[in-house]
């Protein structure tokens, strides 16, 4: 490092350049490139930093060095600009040392600037999730043996726990349960990469979803017009019917879902299609519940959610009778 005496006129400038490992190396902001090319000296404490080959290819002379805070201040003497390409860990020791020097009041400090060279885009942490899931799949004795069939029950459990968090109104619990549901998606997609027949990845899952969302929202991505939620639903159902090429309004309805939800879904399909198919008459509680579920759906009430709310109220009543708090 080309250090100069600390008493050289002009205190100079220290630029700590940070980059995100979630952005492809070499993709930097224009201010970052300008600063790098104009700097008197560019240092990087990490010889394996992924940006180094791209910086050197762009004509930036980078010296691999890990200066102390005092050495870095001295290197700025004479009004020089020194850029430090920070490591992924952030070089805490260096920043702490600079803070101590600045706080001592005994050192003429250069101007200090934190310059983000690249930023995480929304959703960037999903890249970390994919990386972590890949390593777990390869190295964890339990995760490496799991199959779609073996994990199926967890998808159901996590979905119910998510619903419970929504009903409880607990924001922290909601965030955690959304993560658990997301884990199921990422886990299944990682397993699918290993299939001998028709393998696919999380990118394929996301890509298919993007295409579906764009196609089913012509009022957002196309020339169609939809000004009400009802019109949006019409667009959605119409494009979905064309995609699936279904021969019955009942096609695609999972029969394994809870009974009230199943009854409401059937009634919704019938009503949306403009068909006049009343629920069948019969003896017993099942037919009575079917009729109630169809009536609730027609009135805009989710019978499954309504029954769950009533059941939770009943749970609270029972606990109160036992002398417990309602929660």
Q: Nearest 5 degrees, angle CA 257-CA 281-CA 314?
A: 50
135, with CB counted inside 10 A (0-12, 13-18, 19+), is exposed
Q: Nearest 5 degrees, angle CA 136-CA 159-CA 168?
A: 120
Average of per-residue pLDDT across 161-177 = 94
Residue 74 has pLDDT above 90, yes or no: yes
Instruction: Give the start-to-end residue ranges of the domains of the chain.
Output: 13-118, 256-322
Strand order through the sheet with 62-64: 62-64, 41-44, 81-85, 13-18, 111-116
Question: Following DSSP, what letter does each residue of 59-103 receive, concatenated?
Answer: T--EEE----HHHHHHHTTTT-EEEEE--TT--HHHHHHHHHHHH
Residue 5 has pLDDT above 50, yes or no: no
Q: Is the pTM of this model over 0.85?
A: no
Q: What is the pLDDT of residue 280?
A: 92
Average of per-residue pLDDT across 55-75 = 95
pLDDT bucket at 30, cuts 50 / 70 / 90: very high
Q: What is the pLDDT of residue 327?
A: 58
Among 158-162, 184-188, 230-234, 266-270, which stretch is predicted with the lowest mean pLDDT? Answer: 230-234
pLDDT bucket at 9, cuts 50 / 70 / 90: low
pLDDT bucket at 10, cuts 50 / 70 / 90: low
Residue 232 and residue 218: Cα distance in Å, rounded?
9
In CATH terms, is domain 13-118 a member of 3.40.1010.10? Answer: yes
Neighbours of 81 (CB within 10 A): 19
Please report, for residues 164, 225, 265, the alpha-carbon distance to residue 282 in angstroms, rounded to integers and kept in the order given: 33, 44, 20
* Percent of the chain residues past pLDDT 70, beyond the cut: 96
C-beta separation of 69 from 104 below 8 A: no
Average of per-residue pLDDT across 183-207 = 96
Q: What is the pLDDT of residue 246?
A: 75
C-beta separation of 137 from 190 below 8 A: yes
Note the helical H segments in the chain: 30-38, 52-57, 69-75, 92-104, 125-139, 148-168, 171-192, 202-215, 218-221, 229-244, 259-272, 285-298, 303-321
Average of per-residue pLDDT across 263-274 = 89
Q: What is the mean pLDDT of the chain?
A: 90
C-beta separation of 113 from 82 below 8 A: no
* Percent of the chain residues past pLDDT 90, beyond the cut: 69
Q: What is the 3-state secondary structure (H, E, C) of 150-178?
A: HHHHHHHHHHHHHHHHHHHCCHHHHHHHH
């Amino acid at each position: 490092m080309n250090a100069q005496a600390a008493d050289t006129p002009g205190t100079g400038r220290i630029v700590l350049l940070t980059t995100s490992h979630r952005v492809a190396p070499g993709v930097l902001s224009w201010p970052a490139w300008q600063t790098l090319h104009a700097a008197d000296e560019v240092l990087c404490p990490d010889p394996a930093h992924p940006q180094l080959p791209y910086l050197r290819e762009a004509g930036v002379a980078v010296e691999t060095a890990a200066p102390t805070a005092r050495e870095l201040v001295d290197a700025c003497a004479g009004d020089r600009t020194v850029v430090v390409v920070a490591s992924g860990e952030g070089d805490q020791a260096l920043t702490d040392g600079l803070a101590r020097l600045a706080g001592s009041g005994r050192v003429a400090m250069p101007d200090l600037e934190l310059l983000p060279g690249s930023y995480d885009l929304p959703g960037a942490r999903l890249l970390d999730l994919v990386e972590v899931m890949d390593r777990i799949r390869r190295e964890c004795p339990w995760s490496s043996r799991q199959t779609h069939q073996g994990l199926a029950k967890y998808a159901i459990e996590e979905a119910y726990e998510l619903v419970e968090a929504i009903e409880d109104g607990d924001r922290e619990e909601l965030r955690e349960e959304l993560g658990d549901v997301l884990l199921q998606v990422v886990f299944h997609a990682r397993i699918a990469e290993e299939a001998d027949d028709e393998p696919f990845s999380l990118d394929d899952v996301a890509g298919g979803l993007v295409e579906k969302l764009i196609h089913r929202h012509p009022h957002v991505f196309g020339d169609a017009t939809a000004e009400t939620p009802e019109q949006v639903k019409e667009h959605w159902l119409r494009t979905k019917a064309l995609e699936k090429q279904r021969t019955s309004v009942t096609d695609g309805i999972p029969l394994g879902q809870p009974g009230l939800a199943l009854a409401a879904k059937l009634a919704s399909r019938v009503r949306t299609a403009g068909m006049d198919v009343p629920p069948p008459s019969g003896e017993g509680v099942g037919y009575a519940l079917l009729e109630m579920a169809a009536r609730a759906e027609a009135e805009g009430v989710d019978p499954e959610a309504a029954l769950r709310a009533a059941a939770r109220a009943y749970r609270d009543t029972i606990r109160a009778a036992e002398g417990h708090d309602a929660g």
